[in-house]
Amino acid sequence: MQGLSHAIRSAVVPLTAALGCLAALLIGGALTRPNLDWYATLAKPGFAPPNSAFPIAWTILYMLSAIAAWLVWHAPGKDQDHRLAMIWFLIQLVMGVLWSVAFFSLHSPELGLGAIMAFLVAITITIVLFDRLNRVGALLLIPLLLWVCFASGLNFAIWFLNRG
């Protein structure tokens, strides 16, 4: 009976992480799309990518994140280390959605800047916790960290260009 419980848990947690990535992707897109007309009115820096780049980038990044979560969950280690890593993984997914709420739904680059900074912190903590369990899983989150650093710079530039 304990073997079945372990087998179910082995499948449920990574599946939940993958579904969390899918949910974050879908919710973020649903919050963004209706606000693209507003976004088009904002002054943007020359390094702003075309709108079509964002869904492609986020899809790839969340696919890598789901693989990372699977690798980390199945890595050897203490149960409490796995739980903590997965909690922070889910926190960083939530922070990504909250950024979409702040920036797009609330039309606030300023609030978006605060949310994206918290998103960066959550990703960094997740990478550190993942690295304790599985180096490849941690490395798979580096593209997400780099993209969110870029998005933070873009968010800052948009706030700066549109303040007042």
What is the full per-residue pLDDT of the chain (164 aa) written as tens digits?
Answer: 455 565 566 667 777 888 888 888 889 988 888 889 999 999 999 999 999 999 999 999 999 999 999 999 889 999 899 999 999 999 999 999 999 999 999 999 999 999 999 999 999 999 999 999 999 999 999 999 999 999 999 999 999 999 97
Count of all residues that appear for the chain in the document: 164
Give the CATH number of the domain where residue 98 resides: 1.20.1260.100
Q: Which of 143, 95, 90, 102 is nearest to 120 (CA)?
A: 95
pTM of full prediction above 0.85: yes
Distance CA 85, CA 133 (A): 9
Q: Specify the pLDDT at position 1.
A: 47
SS3 string of 53-105? HHHHHHHHHHHHHHHHHHHHHCCCCCHHHHHHHHHHHHHHHHHHHHHHHHHHH
CA distance 121 to 154: 17
Structural domain boundaries enclosing 119: 2-162
What's the total number of domains in the chain? 1
pLDDT at 112 (0 to 100): 98
Distance CA 95, CA 122 (A): 8
How far apart are the C-alpha atoms of 26 and 129, rounded to whole Å?
26
Residue 49: both structure tokens together: 């990518």
Tell me, what's the pLDDT at 118?
98
